[in-house]
Structures are given as C-alpha cells and as structure tokens.
C-alpha cells in the first residue's frame, strides 16, 4: 500500500517524459545505469538524477553489485495512483449513470400523445 503523500511525488516524477520512457523500459527488463543512459544525448549525471527521482517515490529500485548499478521496476509502484484514478472515474461514471436513469424516467413520464 502506497502512502497517500507519495502520490504527489509519483505524479511529479511521471510528468517528465524521459522518466516515463525509463519506467516503460524498466517495465520490460532490468537494466544497468549505463544501458539506460545509452539512447539519450543528456549527461550520465542527468540520467542518474532522473533515476533518483523514480527511486525516491518508489517506482524503481536499484542495487549496486561491484561497479554496476542495476535498476529494476518496483512491482506495484503505480498501484496507489491507479487506485486514485479508478476511484475518481467510478464516482464520475456512477453520477452520470444516475443522471441517465433520471433522464430516462423523466422521458418515460412524458404523456403520450
């Protein structure tokens, strides 16, 4: 279960396209920092900073073995955000369903000519 205060940090982390790309890549397979950095023109330091942001909000984890730091996705890291979206959508849909029912009832109550 994700701490509620963490949703802010997760949304800020995901609002950056490079960080979303890195997360998509790690969802397919773990990778070393240098492999993650390879497709990008930015400095290794900038990539490391992006990885730190992703790690601090619990979306990835990393482990250094010898000289190589390997990053992997944290399973369930997106669960809290996904639940929040689900709740907000469900509330909207339920309300619109009720509105639809009400309109149908009103339509049904119309005197037939």
Contacts of 13 (CB under 8 A, 6+ apart): 19, 53, 54, 56, 57, 59
To the nearest whole angstrom, how small is the minimum distance from the Cβ of residue 36 to its own copies? 16
Structure tokens at 33: 């920092």
Select the residue interacting with its own copies from 3, 28, 64, 113 (CB under 8 A).
28
Q: Is 31 in the site for its own copies (CB under 8 A)?
A: no
Q: Is 102 in the site for its own copies (CB under 8 A)?
A: no
Query: Measured between alpha carbons, how far is residue 8 from residues 59, 69, 87, 89, 110 in Å?
Result: 13, 27, 17, 19, 49
Which residues are near its own copies by CB under 8 A? 7-8, 11-12, 14-17, 20, 23-24, 27-29, 73, 75, 78, 81-82, 84-86, 88-89, 91-93, 95-96
């Amino acid at each position: 279960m994700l701490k509620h205060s963490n949703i802010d940090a997760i949304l800020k982390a995901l609002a950056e396209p490079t960080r979303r790309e890195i997360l998509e890549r790690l969802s397919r397979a773990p990778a070393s920092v240098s492999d993650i950095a390879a497709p990008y023109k930015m400095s290794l330091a900038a990539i490391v900073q992006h990885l730190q942001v992703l790690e601090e909000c619990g979306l990835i984890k990393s482990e250094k073995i010898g000289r190589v730091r390997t990053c992997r996705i944290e399973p369930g890291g997106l669960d809290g955000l996904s639940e929040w979206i689900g709740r907000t959508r469900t509330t909207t849909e339920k309300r619109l369903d009720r509105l639809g029912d009400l309109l149908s009832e009103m339509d049904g109550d119309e005197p037939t000519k």
